[in-house]
């Protein structure tokens, strides 16, 4: 396999940009005051030749305009695309993504995705199958990812202006919708599904759950036992964690102290229901909170609930501060009660590639 340096090249100059196909046809419900901030293309060489089962490291583009970059994470047969910013956004932005083969044919595209000014990066955009990035007639197997970023200056917009795509509703309309969703979460009017979580019951709406989670979508779009009975029994999630999962599904956020109290449980639940945004938030929080005391616990968590970035940081932390980790009570307890697990974790650290 080619080295990472050989695989990734960034097209930054106009002379290198050969694609003339527009990303996504756009229409507006009114005159938009969105301004194109960055329009760049990133070429990855020979990616189409990689087998689905072949392990591939994450790819990150160079920063464009010293502001933004993209990251590709390879998980089994899927590719997850994340958007990163090197600074806190002053205004909301719209991001459009399209992926082309070397013949300038679109193999995958993602319409406008709105990112608010208070977003914590990396921001998950979308997930696609690795097979979609393959081009059967390709000579070299190169793909090019085209990314357009538009900034929305809220001071220049009136409350009536909207943009079609991932609809961006400005000012009071956005706040009103968020408030209505929060109220729906609190009161659950006209709910049509009940969850039994270790004896505690939670009501919800199938349509909202299905839109947010592929797992719930599959559950409610087929004649499953849960669909027919309108009852779902869950044994492997704590009731408090499930309540915060529902809160995130409805409102896009958790209670202010939830991450500090239950981030590992939230990550496990997010992994179960494929809530990528919540999972990314949990990973970011746990990485920031990593210490000698919890390093082993977090590394163990990634065995059952794949979280590539958390795993890498936990391994790196263990390598850097192994003396401190081995002095903790967690290390002593695991050595006495779960020696086989401890050996597996040590083997994981030894076999992992160094982080550069």
User: What's the CATH code of the domain at 336?
Assistant: 1.25.40.420
d(CA 69, CA 60): 7
d(CA 321, CA 248): 34
Residue 282 lies in a domain: no
8 A C-beta contact, residue 146 and residue 23: yes
CA 239 to each of CA 3, 201, 202, 244: distance values in angstroms, whole numbers, following the listed order: 46, 9, 9, 9
Residue 179 lies in a domain: no
Boundary-marking domain end, from 105, 136, 170: 170
> Do 165 and 60 share a structural domain?
yes
> Do 221 and 249 share a structural domain?
yes
Boundary-marking domain end, from 101, 135, 170: 170
d(CA 271, CA 276): 7
Q: What is the DSSP letter of 64?
A: B
Residue 248 lies in a domain: yes
d(CA 6, CA 249): 40
Kindly tell me if the per-residue pLDDT of 229 is higher than 90: yes
d(CA 224, CA 268): 23
Residue 38 — pLDDT band, cuts 50, 70, 90?
confident
Residue 241 lies in a domain: yes
Q: What is the pLDDT of residues 67-108, one digit of tens each?
A: 888 998 887 777 888 899 888 887 788 888 888 877 777 888
81 bridge partner residues: 72, 126
Predicted local confidence at residue 197, as pLDDT: 95
8 A C-beta contact, residue 54 and residue 79: no
Q: What is the pLDDT of residues 250-309, one digit of tens each?
A: 999 899 889 999 999 999 999 999 999 999 889 888 988 889 999 888 988 888 888 888
d(CA 56, CA 16): 26
DSSP 4-37: HHHHEEEE-SGGG------SS----SS----EEE
> Do 96 and 17 share a structural domain?
yes
> Do 154 and 199 share a structural domain?
no
> Do 314 and 233 share a structural domain?
no
d(CA 45, CA 102): 10
> Do 161 and 33 share a structural domain?
yes
Residue 228 lies in a domain: yes
How distant is the alpha carbon of residue 182 from its chain centre?
Answer: 22
Number of domains observed in the structure of the chain: 3
* Average pLDDT of the chain to the nearest whole number: 77
| Enclosing domain of residue 118 | 4-170
Number of residues that this document lists for the chain: 356
User: What's the CATH code of the domain at 246?
Assistant: 3.30.710.10
> Do 134 and 36 share a structural domain?
yes
pTM of the model: 0.53
Rounded average pLDDT over 203-231: 92
Residue 349 lies in a domain: yes
Tell me the pairing of strands 231-234 and 193-197: parallel
d(CA 258, CA 190): 27
Nearest to 259 by CA among 81, 120, 115: 120
- From 41-55, 189-203, 213-227, 316-330, the region with the lowest mean pLDDT: 41-55
Residue 283 lies in a domain: no
Predicted local confidence at residue 36, as pLDDT: 64
> Do 315 and 253 share a structural domain?
no
Structure-block tokens of residue 355: 């982080």
8 A C-beta contact, residue 163 and residue 29: yes
> Do 302 and 252 share a structural domain?
no
> Do 352 and 328 share a structural domain?
yes
Structure-block tokens of residue 205: 């709406």
d(CA 301, CA 314): 10
Residue 197 lies in a domain: yes
> Do 142 and 22 share a structural domain?
yes
Boundary-marking domain end, from 276, 301, 318: 276
> Do 240 and 345 share a structural domain?
no
């Amino acid at each position: 396999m080619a080295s990472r340096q050989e695989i990734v090249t960034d097209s930054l100059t106009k002379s290198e940009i050969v694609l003339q196909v527009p990303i996504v046809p756009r229409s507006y419900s009114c005159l938009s005051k969105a301004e194109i901030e960055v329009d760049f293309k990133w070429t990855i060489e020979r990616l189409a030749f990689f087998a689905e089962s072949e392990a591939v490291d994450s790819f990150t583009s160079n920063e464009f305009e010293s502001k933004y970059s993209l990251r590709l994470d390879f998980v089994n047969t899927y590719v997850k695309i994340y958007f990163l910013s090197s600074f806190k956004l002053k205004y909301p932005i719209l991001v459009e993504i399209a992926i082309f083969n070397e013949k300038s044919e679109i193999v995958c595209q993602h319409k406008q995705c709105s990112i608010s000014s208070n977003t914590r990066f990396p921001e998950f955009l979308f997930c696609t199958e690795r097979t979609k990035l393959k081009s059967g007639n390709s000579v070299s197997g190169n793909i090019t990812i085209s990314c357009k970023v538009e900034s929305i200056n809220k001071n220049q917009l009136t409350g009536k202006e909207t943009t079609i795509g991932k609809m961006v509703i400005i000012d009071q309309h956005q706040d009103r919708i968020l408030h209505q969703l929060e109220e729906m979460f609190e009161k659950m009017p006209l709910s049509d599904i009940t969850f039994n979580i270790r004896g505690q019951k939670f009501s919800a709406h199938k349509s909202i759950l299905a839109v947010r989670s592929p797992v719930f979508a599959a559950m409610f779009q087929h004649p499953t036992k849960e669909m027919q009975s309108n009852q779902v029994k869950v044994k492997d999630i704590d009731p408090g964690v499930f309540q915060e999962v529902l809160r995130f599904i409805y409102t896009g956020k958790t209670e202010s102290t939830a991450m500090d109290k239950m981030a590992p449980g939230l990550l496990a639940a997010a992994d179960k229901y494929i809530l990528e945004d919540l999972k990314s938030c949990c990973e970011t929080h746990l990485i920031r909170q990593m210490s000698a005391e919890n390093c082993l616990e977090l590394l163990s968590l990634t065995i059952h609930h794949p979280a590539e970035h958390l795993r890498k940081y936990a391994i790196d932390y263990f390598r850097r501060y192994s003396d401190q980790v081995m002095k903790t009570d967690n290390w002593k307890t695991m050595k006495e009660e779960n020696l086989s697990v401890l050996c597996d974790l040590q083997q994981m650290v030894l076999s992992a590639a160094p982080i550069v």
